[in-house]
Structure 1
Amino acid sequence: MKRKIFITVIIVFIVVVFSFNVLKAKNTEDVTVEVIYGEEEEVKETLSIPGVLELKNEEKIYSETEKGTVKEVFVKAGEKVKQGDPVLEYEDQNLSKERRQHNLSLQSVELSLESLYKQKHSLQDQIHKAKEDKEVVTQLTTELDQVEFELHNAQIEKDKIMLELETLNTKEEELEVTSPIDGTVLTVNLKGSQDMNEPMVTIANLSQYSASGVVGEDETVHIKENDEAVIQADVIDDKKWAGEVKSIGYTPVNSDAVEVQDDRASKQYAVDIEFTEDEQEQYEQLKPGFKLLIDIILEKRRGLTIPRESVVCEGQSHTVFVVEDGKAVSKEVEYGVRLGEKVEVISGLTGEDAVVRNPEHVKEGMEVEVSND
């Protein structure tokens, strides 16, 4: 019995010693790692906001009931127009009546003028023939003075009618509505002639777009006009457009419609972005209303970047391993901007540090061998 116990103890001892030696060998075995060096490159600090695509130059023509009723529409949806081209024409029955009245008045005063001129010439001839008879000349001269007075009044009446006709011509010219811009007719809706809130005709320049979005009050202090922006459409994956901040709202959006219950609640402000690319073909795929992602570039600078896989994240702590004298040494670093598969390192690292690319199995103080690949 004692012999069996003794043999068992010896076997256990051998197993423990063997295991210890194996573990020791593993712990002293070098781990091969790949190292990289931080690269200095341009870093863009951005603010990403959702947005909506809008037409930059869109004009809506609404009904003007004071001009009368719509007589004719000269355009149709999809048609291209130039600034000043006729779009529609009104008809005003009152103006038509006024013109007939003024024309009749003009005819009447012109007949009066013609008759008075004839009388004037006749009296002048009679005075010339009766120049030896002073009494007759005096009487004829008095009649001539009266005719000239009437002529003067008739001419004033004609001038007045002509001015009224000029005013009438201006009013009639205003009955024709022209396009305020070069563009394409988007909609023609004659129902808008009865509804003041609905445009009758909408015209827009389809080669000029803008983007609109909103930002929180804490973000407005970081944005300024003319900041560069990069615009992407949700439905077009492989295309980006250049733009710049055109304006930032001074008052919160929907401020009148929102009842403020918490003074600490963040307000939102409108931001308008203008596209800066001139080539019309750049916008062929775009349509008003598209949802957008807008990256506003707040700052450009040179920064040190490393692969994201090189960083070990534990809570709020960010650590990398560098190789110093054949051993892995951990260094805490401060993050900056995230750049896809890279991150900017603000502090804790230099471009001369040999950073372990993938520190998954690396421990502090571990002896490591740098790969030559």
Structure 2
Amino acid sequence: MELKRLAPWACLLVLTACGQPPAAQDTPQTEDEPAVASIPVETQPVMQDSVSEYYHTTAVLEAPEAAEVVSRVTGIIGAIEVEEGDQVKAGQRLASIDARRYQLNLAKAQAELDVIEQELHRLNAIANKQLVSQETLAKLKYRREAALAERDLAQLQVHYSKITAPIDGIIAKRLVKNGNMATEYTPLFQVVQQHPLHGILHLPEQELSKVHPGQHAQLQLSGVDETIQAKILRIAPTVDPDTGTVKITLLVDNSAHRLKAGMFSRTRLRFDTHDNTLVLPRIAVIRQDLGHSVFVIHDGKASSRSVELGYSDGDRVEILSGLALGEQVVVRGHHQLRDDATVEVIESLQLAAKR
């Protein structure tokens, strides 16, 4: 009886199952996968060149010789013969002081000397005749020496009335005007020597073993387009106890007279040079916690490579290990890379446009 009741429901279930759509397949439908985009990069081969180690500091240009010209006599400035910026030679006249009073003193001293010498000549002529005592003759000789000194002093004052340059150089300052009253030791001019110049820098004592006279340096100055070459002239024999530095004097060529004493320069002092070494642009190197790395391109793929750096020279660095000559290294676009990334090597202008 129970089987008769369940039979209609079993038939209904079978019919319902037969009308359903087929079950989903275990294997999903395949769709076209998007291609992996290539990352644009710019590369440069590892090259061989010379790289130097530099110490970067600052230096001030100084004149090796400078002199303040002062008046040695008192008087009115009668003529000024040079102006600021003029080149002068040692002994060249710069100005003159009214010397008429000194010339009169010279004439007077010369006249007194002439009288004494005439008297001395007369007494010497009769001394052999025992008509003049030796004491009188000795006193007259002393008077002649004093008169001679007075004449030389008057002559020196006339000479000092002509103001001359004590050294070769350039007139840095003119401190008086025509008609001014000058007294003894009144400053009149400043003369400085501008060729060559000295560059003064101070080097930490721990770097002292790396420098020696004749070593080369390069100077960059505001207003001067090109790099100025210099070399170490001398090294101070003592260390400043207050700063722990050593004074270094550079010899700076200024034959073109474009540099001026007092100029401030950025200076690179070359310590050492490695020739025929592997070099890369600095921008190719990625700083990491444990060192440095670069991305090397091979068969269109990027791979990270740890490198050991040596000397740094401007925008170039020395590679001591990790790379071989000629390997292509990413110099731009490496910050987007990872190991095994697909890359497209393009020119720098194209890379800039894509960015």
TM-score class, shorter: 0.5 to 0.7
Moved more, 323-332 or 94-103: 94-103
Q: Which residue identity does 2:267 align to in structure 1?
A: I
**CA offset at residue 97 of structure 1?**
6.3
Report the secondary structure of 1:333's partner residue. Answer: strand
- Distance change in 2, residues 1:348/1:161 (3 Å): same
How many residues of Structure 1 are paired with residues of Structure 2 in the alignment?
Answer: 317
Report the secondary structure of 2:153's partner residue. Answer: helix
TM-score, normalising length from structure 1? 0.65
Unpaired segments ≥5 residues, structure 1: 1-6, 121-141, 259-265
Q: In structure 2, how many angstroms separate the alpha carbons of the residues matched to 1:216 and 1:92?
A: 59
1:3-46 alpha-carbon deviations (Å, 9 max, x no partner):
xxxx9x979x959x75xx837x63xx887866543111121211
- Distance change in 2, residues 1:320/1:58 (3 Å): same
What does residue 273 of structure 2 align with? 300
What does residue 54 of structure 2 align with? 46
Contact 1:61/1:202, CA 8 A, preserved across alignment: yes
Does structure 1 residue 69 correspond to structure 2 residue 74? yes
Q: Which residue identity does 1:22 align to in structure 2?
A: E
Q: Over the residues paired in the alignment, what is the CA RMSD in angstroms?
A: 4.7
Please point out which of 296, 320, 328 is paired with 2:294: 320
Please point out which of 168, 171, 189 is paired with 2:153: 168
Contact 1:321/1:355, CA 8 A, preserved across alignment: yes
What does residue 171 of structure 2 align with? 185
Q: In structure 2, how many angstroms separate the alpha carbons of the residues matched to 1:157 and 1:205?
A: 46
Q: In structure 1, how many angstroms separate the alpha carbons of the residues matched to 2:270 and 2:104?
A: 60
What does residue 22 of structure 1 align with? 33
What does residue 127 of structure 1 align with? none
Please point out which of 339, 346, 365 is paired with 2:320: 346
Mapping of 1:1-373 within 5 angstroms? 22=33, 26=36, 35-62=43-70, 67-70=72-75, 72=77, 74-78=80-84, 79-87=86-94, 100=108, 103-104=111-112, 106-108=114-116, 110-111=118-119, 113-114=121-122, 144-146=129-131, 156=141, 160=145, 163-164=148-149, 167-168=152-153, 171-172=156-157, 175=160, 177-190=163-176, 199-236=187-224, 238-251=225-238, 267-276=244-253, 279-280=255-256, 283-284=257-258, 286-302=259-275, 303-323=277-297, 328-358=302-332, 359-364=334-339, 366=340
Q: In structure 1, how many angstroms separate the alpha carbons of the residues matched to 2:182 and 2:144?
A: 37
Q: In structure 2, how many angstroms separate the alpha carbons of the residues matched to 1:362 and 1:299?
A: 35
Contact 1:230/1:295, CA 8 A, preserved across alignment: yes
Q: In structure 1, how many angstroms separate the alpha carbons of the residues matched to 2:202 and 2:139?
A: 68
Contact 1:248/1:272, CA 8 A, preserved across alignment: yes
- Distance change in 2, residues 1:149/1:357 (3 Å): closer
Report the secondary structure of 1:22's partner residue. Answer: coil
**CA offset at residue 362 of structure 1?**
3.6
What does residue 353 of structure 2 align with? none
TM-score, normalising length from structure 2? 0.68
Q: In structure 2, how many angstroms separate the alpha carbons of the residues matched to 1:372 and 1:293?
A: 37
Higher strand share: 2
Contact 1:43/1:337, CA 8 A, preserved across alignment: yes
Contact 1:69/1:92, CA 8 A, preserved across alignment: no
Q: Give % identity.
A: 18
Contact 1:323/1:368, CA 8 A, preserved across alignment: no
**CA offset at residue 146 of structure 1?**
1.4
Q: In structure 2, how many angstroms separate the alpha carbons of the residues matched to 1:195 and 1:145?
A: 50
1:269-312 alpha-carbon deviations (Å, 9 max, x no partner):
433221136x42xx33x333322111111112222112334323
Higher helix share: 1
Q: Which residue identity does 2:229 align to in structure 1?
A: A
Contact 1:234/1:293, CA 8 A, preserved across alignment: no
Contact 1:113/1:155, CA 8 A, preserved across alignment: no
1:317-343 alpha-carbon deviations (Å, 9 max, x no partner):
211233467754432112223344432
Report the secondary structure of 1:288's partner residue. Answer: coil
**CA offset at residue 113 of structure 1?**
4.7
Contact 1:62/1:199, CA 8 A, preserved across alignment: yes
**CA offset at residue 233 of structure 1?**
0.8
